[in-house]
Structures are given as structure tokens and as C-alpha cells.
């Protein structure tokens, strides 16, 4: 039985590694359609990653071990985070050792090293990107934690599996605190995954890029890992939101039928989230970087309001 649960865990990791690029591909495809362009197809990200793996690494002379180590670390944390978030089943062996706060910390570690790597080479763009990234992070992380605390207040636990259990048991119906936390989460997720009102994943325009500026010096295998990790990050944020706010479909037991049903539900949710994401991105313009404090401030405000309304209204 124990072994079986590990099998599910590995299955989940495989899905993470496999489906994440497809999700990114789906989003890009939708975006192309919405802009009236021909898309490169849903599988283009796989081809990109493969292409990058087959290329040589071109390393700057003054690159230190941090620069070389970072891609592996970023990739590793993403995989580890994927083992914690329930995607298919609630009975994940690794998930019981780590809760949501650890999850936030994992993302933070990855970001910290990316920022270090961005500064490591000493180019202007890297430093600029790192500084911007850390500015965003310093605002997004408190808001993220606040939103998570609100959800865990409602479910009286910081473990994601436990949260889903509580939602399943029907104790939570119309909860204003969860609604606030949900909206806060959407804003934070947009910021954390570098989507449009905050950052534009498709541009290399020097004045606006944030995440792309930090990884500008990477090439070959390193770049492939980082790109892959950032695809996984987007995927994981979707999964996290789904698990915390709309977990219906995730299997409670390890039963094969339930798991396969959960997989279908997951794909369905991904399709829907992709459409919503593209709608958000098409509807909004990228913000000036100085307005970001307000954007993330609103996220923090929403999360705090969620927490307050938990105490006041529930």
C-alpha cells in the first residue's frame, strides 16, 4: 500500500514534468489565436526545450558556481513543490512532511538563487532584473502568505491535503474570506509567474523585462532547465489555486478509477484556466513598474480583508 502511494507520487511528478510545457503551449496557442496569428502548436515548448538541451553552454568568464548551480536548484525546487501540491490524489507521502509555508519557501529559494545568478555575471540587465524581481517578491510574498493563512484559518490547517478535505466535507460554503483570498491569490499568481500586468513573458524589451532580464546570460542546458522550471511554476500555481479553491475532482483515495477521473478533471481545469489567463492578459496592459506597488498592495489588501472578514463575519 505504501509503495502504491509512492507510485501515485511519481505519477504526479511525471505529469508535472510532462504536462507543464503543454499547458504553456496551450496558453501561447490561445494567445496567438486571440491576436489573429497562426500558432506554433501546443507542443512547441517541448521542441524548444529539446532544442536547448542539444545546444552547447556558453558561459561567461566570470561566472561563479552560483551561476552554474542555479538552474539545477530552480528545477529541483519546482519538482519538489510539485510533490507537495495535490494534483491527482490527496494521499501523497511527501506532502505530509511539508505544508504550504514550505511551498512558499521553496519558491522563495528558487527566486533568491535566480536573483543571485542574475547579478553573478555582472551585466547591467541581470542586476536590473534581480532588483526588480526582489522588489516584486518583497511585496508578493507577504500577500501570498496572508492569502494562504486565510485559507488555512478556514480549514484550521496549513496542510494542503487537509484543506481539500475540509472543503470536501462541505463545511465551507459561501465564505467571504475565501472569496477575498481567491482574488488575492489570482493577483499574486499573476505576479509570481510573471504574467502580463506585471511582467511580459514574451518580450525581451530591455526597459520592461523582469524575469527574462535575470536569465539573459543563460544558454543551452541551463536555459532549458530554467525555462522548463518556469513552465512548471506556472503549472504549479494553477494547481495550487485549484487545490485551495476548487479541488473538486481530486481523488481522496488511491483508487485507480478515481485517479484517472482526477486526471481528466485536471486537464479540464487546465483548459479553462488557460482561457481565463489569456482573457486576463489580452484585456490588460502591462503596468508601469512603479504602479506595481499598488497592484501588489491591492493583493495584500484583499488577503488581509479576507483574514479580517474571517474574524468579523464568520
Partner 1 sequence: MDLNVAAQLNSFLAAFVLLTAFGMLVQRRMYGLVHLFTWQGFFLSINTAVVGFVAGKHHLYISSILTLSLKVILLPYILHVLIRRLKVHKEVEVVVNIPMTMMMGIALVIFSYYLMAPVTQLSTLVTRSTLAVALATVMIGLLMMITRKHAVTQIIGFLAMENGLFFAATSATYGMPLVVELGVALDILIAAFIFGIFFFHIHTTFDSLDVDQMARLKEED
The residue length of the chain stands at: 314
- Please give the torsion angle defined by the CA atoms of residues 133, 134, 139 and 142, in that order, rounded to the nearest 10 degrees: 120
Instruction: Decide whether 29 or 302 has the Cβ nearer to partner 1.
Output: 302
Residue recorded with cell 505529469:
15
Q: Are 192 and 140 in contact (CB under 8 A)?
A: yes
For residues 110-134, one letter each, b for 16 or more C-beta atoms within 10 angstroms of the residue's C-beta and e for the rest, the string is: bbbbbbbbbbbbeeebbbbbbebbe
- CB-CB contact of 138 with 191 (8 Å): no
Could you say whether residue 305 binds partner 1 (CB under 8 A)?
yes
84 vs 303, which CB is nearer to partner 1? 303
Identify which of residues 173 and 207 has a Cβ nearer to partner 1 in the complex.
173
Identify which of residues 171 and 260 has a Cβ nearer to partner 1 in the complex: 171
Nearer to partner 1, 12 or 150 (CB): 150
Task: Round to whole Å and give the CA distance between 238 and 232.
Answer: 10
Minimum CB separation of residue 248 from partner 1 in Å reads 19
Q: Does 104 bind partner 1 (CB under 8 A)?
A: no
Task: State in angstroms the smallest separation of the CB of 293 from partner 1.
Answer: 6
**Contact assessment for residue 195 and residue 281, using Cβ atoms and an 8 Å cutoff:** yes
User: Among residues 124 and 174, whose Cβ is nearest to partner 1?
Assistant: 174
What is the contact mask toward partner 1 in residues 265 to 304, using x (rule: CB under 8 A)?
A: ----------------------------xx--xx-xxx-x
Binning the chain into helix, strand and coil, the percentages to the nearest 5 are 75, 0, 25
Q: Quick check: helix, strand or coil at residue 251?
A: strand
Which residues, numbered 146-185, are part of the site for partner 1 (CB under 8 A)?
A: 173-177, 179-180
231 grid coordinates = 513552465
Considering the complex, what minimum distance in angstroms separates the CB of residue 138 from partner 1?
13
| 20 vs 146, beta carbon nearer partner 1 | 146
With respect to partner 1, which residue has the nearer C-beta, 229 or 305? 305
Q: What's the distance, CA 260 to chain centroid?
A: 23
The minimum distance between CB 194 and partner 1, in angstroms, equals 22
Closest by Cα among 154, 188, 9 to 87: 9
Which x/- pattern, by CB under 8 A, does the window 178-217 give for partner 1? -xx-------------------------------------
Shortest CB 280 distance to partner 1, Å:
18
Q: Using N-to-C axis directions, what is the helix angle for 44-53 and 2-34, rounded to 10°? A: 110
Indicate whether 309 belongs to the interface with partner 1 (CB under 8 A): yes
Say which DSSP state 89 is in.
B
- Nearest approach in angstroms of CB 308 to partner 1 is 5
Closest contact distance (angstroms) between CB of 157 and partner 1 is 22
Partners of 89 in the β-ladder: 251
Residue 94, helix vs strand vs coil: coil
Applying CB under 8 A, which residues contact partner 1? 173-177, 179-180, 293-294, 297-298, 300-302, 304-305, 308-309, 311-314
Amino acid at each position: 500500500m505504501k509503495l502504491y502511494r509512492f507510485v501515485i507520487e511519481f505519477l504526479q511528478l511525471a505529469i508535472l514534468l510532462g504536462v507543464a510545457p503543454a499547458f504553456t503551449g496551450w496558453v501561447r496557442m490561445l494567445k496567438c489565436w486571440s491576436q489573429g496569428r497562426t500558432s506554433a502548436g501546443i507542443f512547441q515548448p517541448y521542441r524548444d526545450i529539446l532544442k536547448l538541451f542539444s545546444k552547447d553552454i556558453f558561459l561567461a568568464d566570470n561566472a561563479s558556481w552560483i551561476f552554474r548551480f542555479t538552474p539545477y536548484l530552480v528545477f529541483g525546487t519546482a519538482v519538489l513543490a510539485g510533490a507537495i501540491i495535490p494534483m491527482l490524489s490527496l494521499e501523497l507521502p511527501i506532502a505530509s512532511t511539508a505544508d504550504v509555508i514550505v511551498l512558499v519557501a521553496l519558491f522563495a529559494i528558487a527566486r533568491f538563487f535566480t536573483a543571485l545568478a542574475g547579478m553573478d555575471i555582472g551585466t547591467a540587465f541581470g542586476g536590473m532584473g534581480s532588483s526588480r524581481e526582489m522588489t516584486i517578491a518583497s511585496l508578493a510574498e507577504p500577500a501570498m502568505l496572508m492569502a494562504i493563512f486565510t485559507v488555512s484559518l478556514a480549514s484550521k490547517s496549513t496542510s494542503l491535503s487537509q484543506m481539500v478535505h475540509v472543503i470536501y466535507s462541505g463545511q465551507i460554503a459561501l465564505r467571504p474570506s475565501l472569496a477575498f483570498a481567491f482574488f488575492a491569490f489570482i493577483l499574486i499568481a499573476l505576479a509570481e509567474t510573471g504574467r502580463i500586468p506585471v511582467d511580459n513573458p514574451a518580450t525581451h524589451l530591455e526597459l520592461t523585462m523582469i524575469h527574462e532580464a535575470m536569465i539573459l546570460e543563460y544558454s543551452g542546458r541551463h536555459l532549458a532547465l530554467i525555462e522548463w522550471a518556469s513552465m512548471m511554476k506556472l503549472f504549479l500555481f494553477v494547481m495550487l489555486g485549484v487545490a485551495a479553491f476548487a479541488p473538486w475532482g481530486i481523488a481522496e483515495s488511491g483508487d485507480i478509477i478515481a485517479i484517472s477521473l482526477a486526471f481528466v478533471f485536471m486537464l479540464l481545469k487546465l483548459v479553462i484556466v488557460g482561457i481565463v489567463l489569456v482573457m486576463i492578459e489580452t484585456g490588460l496592459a502591462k503596468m508601469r513598474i512603479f504602479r506595481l506597488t499598488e497592484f501588489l498592495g491591492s493583493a495584500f489588501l484583499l488577503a488581509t480583508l479576507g483574514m479580517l472578514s474571517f474574524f468579523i463575519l464568520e
